A = this chain, B = another copy of it.
Amino acid sequence: MTGRSADPASDTAMNMDMERFGPITRAVARFGAEWRWEDIPEAVRHEARRSLLNYFAVALAGSADPTVDIAASVFARFSAGQQATVIGRGQRMDMLNAASLNAMMANVFDFDDTHPATIIHPTAPVAPAAFALAQVQPVSGARLLHAFILGAEIECRMGNALTLGHYAHGWHITSTCGVFGAAIASASLLGLDARRTAWALAGAGNQTGGLVETLGTMSKSISVGNTARNGLLSALLAREGLAGPDQPIEGARGVLNVLSATPAPEKLIDGLGQRWELRTNTYKPYPCGVVLNPVIEAVLALRERMALADRDPARVARVELTGHPLLRQRTDRPGVRNGRESQVSAQHAIAVCLLHGRAGLAEFSDQAVAAPRAHALDMRLRFHDDDAYTVDAVHIRITLDDGRDFEHRIDAARGSSGNPLTDADLENKLHELCAYGGSGCDAEAIIGGIWELETLTDAGKLMARVAGTPRTEIRTG
């Protein structure tokens, strides 16, 4: 491993001190404590900036969500001081509560980033912990970016090591893995040595959890918020000497064996520092299940070729969708009852795209679902499974009531690994979501701050640009 301290004597002392730990725990802790900024490639740093841009966009959008309102009203009663910014709400809390709320709001619409190999949303757990800490203990933008990258890397690798069965079994993988990312990022910013970083990992492991059963409900946000809060707390406790076991990750009753039936510990460390998981991060153009991306893109393209009068779902006689079987399995959902359900409904997505020519948060809200024409396609959509299609591809044929056909095919939807959102796309997303959330923040100032993050001497000051104005309290708690 490169990236260690250059002092061989201190390396030797540390090596002896670290011998007690299991090899996986040791390697992960050393990576978190010792991997150097200089040894992180520019391409990884740039992907980190893109991740943070997307993070602030989705957090600003989610800052006014009712789930966040409720949590903020309760957390405000348990906040010791106002050191850290709660995004978009003109509100400050202590760093643990702010970290939790900012993680919740970034993920509340599932509009945040996606690590394709695991379906982890990498940034929502890690960035809030790092920025909250940076507001209490000032650090440079480069140090913050460094810590964020190390944290996100371990988070995604934890997901790889737990393997696909972990999520399928019912663990909400962003919650279960996010806490490790937040712990590593926090440990890095606190300057913990490898031993204490290992203790932070143990504290994170002893707090990991979160159930898929809660998805689609407000309760989901509790475990997502806990990732940032508890990862940060684990690092703070480790700094004061709260020691953990020698093999928190690979032990017989440690994280991997308990939370996975088929753990692959080597995936945590193989190529660590050479292959960067964060490089594969993807960003959603639409606030929907990712399998709907090509459908939405196809309908928006078709609509451009249709006359104004043809763009009415009530005039559609039949829609045929050909795609990967997962498309049907996940999104054949007529009769949705609320905005959250509409995010995974092909019937709804096609109807609102035809109607409005856009697919933003407003088109997948409770209000959009309540509009009568949103349900026009509920009985008129047929799926054709075809394994030759990837989940990023689709063919759509819309037949109008006068018999005319419109067809379109998408091979790699925008936002997929093969057709990633550009930097400009991400800037536009931030503009749009900043406006949607109604925080009154200056989108350009935020964008500028993120692109130049590496040059800031006090990274925490960026949070002033996403603070927003106070919300009308909806509850008194």
Instruction: Tell me the A residues contacting B by CB distance below 8 Å.
Output: 67, 70-71, 73-74, 77-80, 94, 96, 169-172, 175, 199, 202-203, 205-214, 216-223, 226, 233-234, 236-237, 240-245, 247-248, 251-255, 257-258, 475, 477
Instruction: Report the bound CA distance from A74 to B73 in whole Å.
Output: 23
A222 close to B207 (CB less than 8 A): yes
Query: A213 is contacted by which of B199, B211, B217, B247 (Cβ under 8 Å)?
Result: B247
Instruction: Report the bound CA distance from A233 to B74 in whole Å.
Output: 9
Given contacts A206-B222, A218-B242, contact A213 B94 (CB under 8 A): no
B205 close to A211 (CB less than 8 A): yes
B245 close to A216 (CB less than 8 A): yes
Q: Which residue of B lies closest to A79 (CB)?
A: B80
Query: A80 is contacted by which of B78, B175, B222, B226 (Cβ under 8 Å)?
Result: B78
Q: Which residues of B contact A477 (CB under 8 A)?
A: 240
Q: Which residue of B lies closest to A97 (CB)?
A: B78
B203 close to A222 (CB less than 8 A): yes
Q: Which residues of B contact A210 (CB under 8 A)?
A: 206-207
Q: Which residues of B contact A67 (CB under 8 A)?
A: 242
- Name the residue in A208, A222, A251 with the highest tally of chain B Cβ atoms < 10 Å from its Cβ: A222
Q: Which residues of B contact A175 (CB under 8 A)?
A: 206
Instruction: Report the bound CA distance from A172 to B207 in whole Å.
Output: 11
A114 nearest CB across to chain B (Å)? 19
Given contacts A220-B206, A243-B219, contact A212 B253 (CB under 8 A): yes
A258 close to B222 (CB less than 8 A): no
Given contacts A219-B202, A240-B475, contact A213 B253 (CB under 8 A): yes
A219 close to B242 (CB less than 8 A): yes
A79 nearest CB across to chain B (Å)? 5
- Of all A-B residue pairs in the complex, the 4 with the closest CB atoms, nearest first, are A170-B253, A209-B209, A219-B244, A170-B258
A213 close to B74 (CB less than 8 A): no
A214 close to B202 (CB less than 8 A): yes
A211 close to B243 (CB less than 8 A): no
A422 nearest CB across to chain B (Å)? 36
B202 close to A245 (CB less than 8 A): no
Q: What would be 26 A-B contacts, judged by CB atoms less than 8 Å apart?
A: A70-B242, A73-B240, A74-B233, A77-B80, A78-B80, A80-B80, A80-B94, A170-B252, A170-B258, A171-B258, A172-B206, A175-B206, A199-B219, A205-B211, A205-B213, A206-B219, A206-B223, A207-B223, A211-B254, A212-B258, A213-B254, A217-B243, A217-B245, A219-B248, A222-B234, A240-B477
Q: Which residues of B contact A213 (CB under 8 A)?
A: 205, 245, 247-248, 251-255, 258
A380 nearest CB across to chain B (Å)? 29
A240 close to B70 (CB less than 8 A): yes
Q: Which residue of B lies closest to A248 (CB)?
A: B213
A206 close to B211 (CB less than 8 A): yes
- Name the residue in A207, A210, A257 with the highest tally of chain B Cβ atoms < 10 Å from its Cβ: A207
Q: Which residue of B lies closest to A258 (CB)?
A: B170
Instruction: Report the bound CA distance from A126 to B80 in whole Å.
Output: 24
A76 nearest CB across to chain B (Å)? 9
Query: A211 is contacted by which of B171, B220, B221, B258 (Cβ under 8 Å)?
Result: B258
Q: Which residue of B lies closest to A205 (CB)?
A: B211
Instruction: Report the bound CA distance from A94 to B78 in whole Å.
Output: 7
Query: A209 is contacted by which of B78, B80, B208, B247 (Cβ under 8 Å)?
Result: B208
Given contacts A170-B257, A243-B218, contact A207 B234 (CB under 8 A): no
B203 close to A240 (CB less than 8 A): no
Instruction: Report the bound CA distance from A211 to B254 in whole Å.
Output: 6
Q: Which residue of B lies closest to A202 (CB)?
A: B219
Q: Which residues of B contact A202 (CB under 8 A)?
A: 214, 217, 219
Q: Which residues of B contact A222 (CB under 8 A)?
A: 203, 206-207, 234, 237, 242
